[in-house]
Structure 1
Amino acid sequence: MGTPKTVLDLPLSTKDRAPHFLRSNSTQKMGPASLALSASALLLLTLAISGCKPVGPNYQRPAPATETPALYKETGASNVPPPPNPANGSWSPANPSDGMLKGKWWEIYNDPQLNQYEERIATYNQSLHAALETYFAAREQVRIARAAFYPTLSAGPGVNHAKVSSHRPLTIPATSTITNYNDLTLEGQASWEPDFWGKIRRTVESAKAAAQASNADLANVELSLESELAEDYFELRGLDTQKQLLDSDIKALNDQLDLTRRRLKGGIGTGVDVAQALTQLDTERAQLIDVGIARTEFEHAIGSIAYYKLSDFNIAADPLEMGSKTVLPTVPTGLPSQLLERRPDIAAAERRAALANAQIGVAISAFYPTITLGGGGGFESTHGGTWLQGPSSLWSLGGQASELLIDGGLRHAVTQQARDNFEANASTYKNTIVVAFQEVEDKLSDLRILEQEEEAERAAVADAQNSLDISNQRYKGGVTSYLEVTTAENTLIQNQRTEANLKSEQYAKTVELIRSLGGGWDTTQIPK
């Protein structure tokens, strides 16, 4: 990598400027030939820098700790279609992005209210705004680092009037005829540290990787907020289902209580039956209150993420559909090999490994001399009329080099520290990949097992309903006590609530799977 072209557009030429400290009181003037020679030498030096290879290792993406699988293991859920089959032992999809989530992934649920809440995150959520500003700051750091490629220029006029003491040491009265004079100056200075060893290039490389990592962090924060809101939303809907069930059960238990009281008045029932019916009714009412508390907390969480005024924010009840197999959206998983390009946390970890690698080059550059070129020029006169004339011009060129000889092992320690940091970041990147695959496999297995559990639970609900119907008939016929009805009723209620929990959990697990797959994000969205 060479020095940017913009640096080459600023060669030191005639009237080039050096730092003020390089210009002596008696400025030396050079002839045209000497001046042209100096300028040509500096130009050649600048051109030579562009071909210098920066010190330190060039970055290579660390290889994953384990081989990427060809297929996900835990497939089988009906709403998670398998990826395309391998052809001739290798994957060859027509388009790597086919069958993958894109953009506003939450729209696959076809829920307008959820869409409305999700859309507000990008505009109003302050956690996301903080992450965005952090990325902007990291992006500006790249510009700060690039500024070191260019010379620093400064200029300014100076006007002084001075009187020389007639009694100063070594004064010869006969020659000291001027004791008052003006000093009018108009000078500029330039200083430039050529990037011989690539320190600036490695610093820019490091800053750019840091900005890209920050951009991936931003995407990860956004995905986390979106998925958290969606999970809370479906948990709330599941509680709406439970409330619907409890309301229905409480109505049925009220009817049962009326029945036991009529039977007691008729001399058929007992006071124990009435007490049992009343106890069960009060228990259901208490559980309904618990459901209301949990629902309120989820409502607050959704309002906070979507940045609503909580005192005015309400979500109307809308239970998940009951009585049939849960209809979940289809979640395309894509190929396992694509996961490395789709997870923002993996991308952030990889970019931080690149950042750490560039810092090795920055540390190694400290072993090489520091070379600074400079120049200065302008006009100086004692009278305004001759201030900007040719004879009043002055200029100087200069350069210096310095090399640290003894530092007590500091540079060696800093370089080794940079290498250790790279290895640490490389290991973090590899581990992030391992965890990512684990999360996807976990969610796939969760959905597969929950689907099986839901099917078994639906059968259990049907059986419990049948058992309750039989117990009610037996109780009304005087064959059994109300305890049997109570037991059957509790069994049905418990199974109905379990079925409702399974439904909301399945929706939440699809959200978690989408998050594990990276949502609709991929590494092409990282600024280059």
Structure 2
Amino acid sequence: MRASLLVLFPAALLAGCVAGPDYHGPEGSIAQAPAAAAPFVAAQESDFVEAALPDKWWELYDDQRLDALVEEALAANADLRVADANLRQASAVLRQAEAGRRVTTTVSGGVELDREASTGYSLPGILGYDAGISAGLPLDLSGKIRRAIEASRADEEVVRAARDDTRVAVAAAVTRAYASVCAANYGLAANARVTKLLGETLDVTRRLQRAGRGTAFDVTRARTALEQSEAALPAYEAERQANLFLIATLLGKVPSQYPEDIANCDTLPVLSQPMPVGDGAALIRRRPDIRAAERQLAADTARIGVAMADLYPQVSLGGSAGLSGPFSDIGSGNSFGFSLGPLISWSFPDRTIVKAQIAAAGAQADADLASLDATVLGALRETETALNAYARGQDQVAAYRKARDSAAEAADQAEKLFRFGRADFLSVLDAQQSLATAETALASAETEAVDRQVDIFLALGGGWQGEGVSP
């Protein structure tokens, strides 16, 4: 009895002690700084409101076809399938770690034939048997298993955040590609208007030449302007087709299976309201990459405890029962045996090695904290930059629209003056080329504005909160 108490005494001293620091969140990180949680500096423009970003931000465009494309991509995208498989794998690793604190059992059995060499007989010997069962329950007094489970659970959350980040990227990619298809057709339409105008000018120039009021040089210049305008058309068509192929692959289909019903979309997606962007605090809570960085810090903090647990013995409660002996004695009391009691295993640590492992784990946690700070700073910078770029882009669109209207008015005036003989053909051609340039610039600026909207939504990190594929 006294011997058993002596064995249990060290274990009792360890009871309730868990090696390593408890994780209490990223204390002292930039994510907790008041300045990081403040409203965005660049969101003071009238284009934005400090309201919560909806989970399905693409629905702000009030475009049912776009909504359907994004939902289809979130259900079938190949990258998301990879991310979902990675999450299932991480969940399996977590279950494996949790199984480490459960009872383990071992069943054994065997038959053997023994004969002593000194008997001098050729008899087969004595036929014996051995059968038993043993069970062990780790007490985890040092907390090594508990810390390992904490690390695995945080690892799973890191992978989950990566899956959510992929959802954000897929939703943004589909929206951007859809907008690019519409923008290419919009550019084609704008260029077609200019091409039509230049074609009409060429016809007038030819008639004037035949009437003796123009020259072959005037006709050549008019034809050159028309051909230059027509030369821009293939680039728009190539851009449209490239994005149709991209949409198909984002939907998990081969490029030739692109949705043909959107191939002729020529209206740019328009937001139905000012952009809701929230504030820094909402951004930090929402961005999956920030969550992944914070969970990585939690995982590696738990691994400090795993390393520290090697300084202490591992204690488990075990028991075994079995039957053994010759078959002639089977069933007798002498053939049965059992054992029950605590088991202590301790590979007496080389403290230098263990302390080095603890120091390495601590350094990794410090690196994770720095990485978290860098991720938060990067997210805030990306958002501020995207907001400012969009606001300045809107100013640019307004300026280009005024320039286009002025150029259209000037082209109309130049054509009338030319027909009445009060201006030369070069003035008409210059005015029309200015209109073509203004039309193209406006179409490009309006297209870029939609692209910058997607940049903002991507920086805000929305789109993963909806129901996704179950792990």
- Give TM-score scaled by structure 2 length: 0.89
1:112 corresponds in structure 2 to: 64
1:80 corresponds in structure 2 to: 48
Residue pair 2:56, 2:466 contacting (<8 A) in 1 also:
no
Shift of residue 287, structure 1, vs aligned partner? 0.3
1:369 corresponds in structure 2 to: 313
Cα distance in 2 between the residues matched to 1:76 and 1:494: 32
Residue pair 1:342, 1:523 contacting (<8 A) in 2 also:
no
Unaligned runs of 5+ in 2: none
Task: State how 1:390-429 maps to structure 2 within 5 Å.
Answer: 390-397=333-340, 399-406=343-350, 409-429=352-372
Cα distance in 1 between the residues matched to 2:368 and 2:101: 28
Q: Kindly tell me: are residues 388 and 300 of structure 1, through their superposed partners in 2, closer, same or farther at Cα, counting changes over 3 Å?
A: farther
Residue pair 1:439, 1:516 contacting (<8 A) in 2 also:
yes
Residue pair 2:404, 2:438 contacting (<8 A) in 1 also:
yes
1:59 corresponds in structure 2 to: 23
1:448 corresponds in structure 2 to: 391
Shift of residue 159, structure 1, vs aligned partner? 2.7
1:27-74 CA-to-partner distances (Å, cap 9, x unmatched) read xxxxxxx7xx96x9999999987x523111111322333532432111
**In angstroms, what is the RMSD of aligned CA positions?**
3.0
* Mapped pair 1:145 → 2:102: no
Shift of residue 463, structure 1, vs aligned partner? 0.4
* Mapped pair 1:164 → 2:110: no
Unaligned runs of 5+ in 1: 1-33, 84-98
Q: 2:74 aligns with which of 122, 136, 139?
A: 122
> Residue 190 of structure 1: SS of its match in structure 2?
strand
Q: Kindly tell me: are residues 366 and 193 of structure 1, through their superposed partners in 2, closer, same or farther at Cα, counting changes over 3 Å?
A: same
2:205 corresponds in structure 1 to: 260
Question: How many residues are treated as equivalent by the alignment?
Answer: 462
1:408-435 CA-to-partner distances (Å, cap 9, x unmatched) read x322222111111111111111111111
> Residue 155 of structure 1: SS of its match in structure 2?
strand
1:317 corresponds in structure 2 to: 264
Task: State how 1:207-356 maps to structure 2 within 5 Å.
Answer: 207-313=152-258, 314=260, 315-320=262-267, 328-356=272-300
Q: Kindly tell me: are residues 77 and 145 of structure 1, through their superposed partners in 2, closer, same or farther at Cα, counting changes over 3 Å?
A: same
One-letter code aligned to 2:313: P
Residue pair 1:276, 1:482 contacting (<8 A) in 2 also:
no
Q: Bigger CA drift: 58-67 or 240-249? A: 58-67
1:367-422 CA-to-partner distances (Å, cap 9, x unmatched) read 223445543211124237x6345442112346343343546x32222211111111
1:65-116 CA-to-partner distances (Å, cap 9, x unmatched) read 35324321112443421x3xxxxxxxxxxxxxxx423332211211121112
Cα distance in 2 between the residues matched to 1:327 and 1:109: 5
Higher share of residues assigned helix: 2
1:309-349 CA-to-partner distances (Å, cap 9, x unmatched) read 32232332122269xxx655432222322221111111000
1:252-301 CA-to-partner distances (Å, cap 9, x unmatched) read 22211111111111111111111111111111111011111111111111
Cα distance in 2 between the residues matched to 1:256 and 1:410: 86
Q: 1:498 aligns with which of 412, 417, 441?
A: 441
Residue pair 1:165, 1:179 contacting (<8 A) in 2 also:
no
Shift of residue 205, structure 1, vs aligned partner? 0.6
Q: Kindly tell me: are residues 292 and 444 of structure 1, through their superposed partners in 2, closer, same or farther at Cα, counting changes over 3 Å?
A: same
One-letter code aligned to 2:196: K
Q: Bigger CA drift: 496-505 or 117-126? A: 496-505
Cα distance in 1 between the residues matched to 2:96 and 2:280: 39
Q: Kindly tell me: are residues 166 and 248 of structure 1, through their superposed partners in 2, closer, same or farther at Cα, counting changes over 3 Å?
A: same
Cα distance in 2 between the residues matched to 1:42 and 1:122: 58
Cα distance in 2 between the residues matched to 1:164 and 1:390: 24
Q: Kindly tell me: are residues 297 and 405 of structure 1, through their superposed partners in 2, closer, same or farther at Cα, counting changes over 3 Å?
A: closer
One-letter code aligned to 1:320: T
Q: 2:55 aligns with which of 103, 109, 123?
A: 103
Residue pair 1:341, 1:523 contacting (<8 A) in 2 also:
no
Shift of residue 454, structure 1, vs aligned partner? 1.6
* Mapped pair 1:180 → 2:125: yes
Q: Identity over aligned residues, as a percent?
A: 25
One-letter code aligned to 1:146: E
Cα distance in 2 between the residues matched to 1:246 and 1:128: 38
Cα distance in 2 between the residues matched to 1:113 and 1:518: 22
> Residue 68 of structure 1: SS of its match in structure 2?
helix
Cα distance in 2 between the residues matched to 1:378 and 1:476: 114
- Give TM-score scaled by structure 1 length: 0.80
* Mapped pair 1:458 → 2:405: no
Cα distance in 2 between the residues matched to 1:436 and 1:488: 46
Q: Bigger CA drift: 128-137 or 436-445? A: 436-445
> Residue 75 of structure 1: SS of its match in structure 2?
helix
One-letter code aligned to 2:448: E
One-letter code aligned to 1:318: C
Task: State how 1:89-100 maps to structure 2 within 5 Å.
Answer: 99-100=51-52
Residue pair 2:60, 2:271 contacting (<8 A) in 1 also:
no
Q: Kindly tell me: are residues 412 and 397 of structure 1, through their superposed partners in 2, closer, same or farther at Cα, counting changes over 3 Å?
A: same
2:418 corresponds in structure 1 to: 475
Cα distance in 2 between the residues matched to 1:347 and 1:406: 37
Cα distance in 1 between the residues matched to 2:306 and 2:109: 38
Cα distance in 2 between the residues matched to 1:199 and 1:73: 46
Shift of residue 483, structure 1, vs aligned partner? 2.1
1:155 corresponds in structure 2 to: 107
Residue pair 1:371, 1:401 contacting (<8 A) in 2 also:
yes
Shift of residue 305, structure 1, vs aligned partner? 0.7
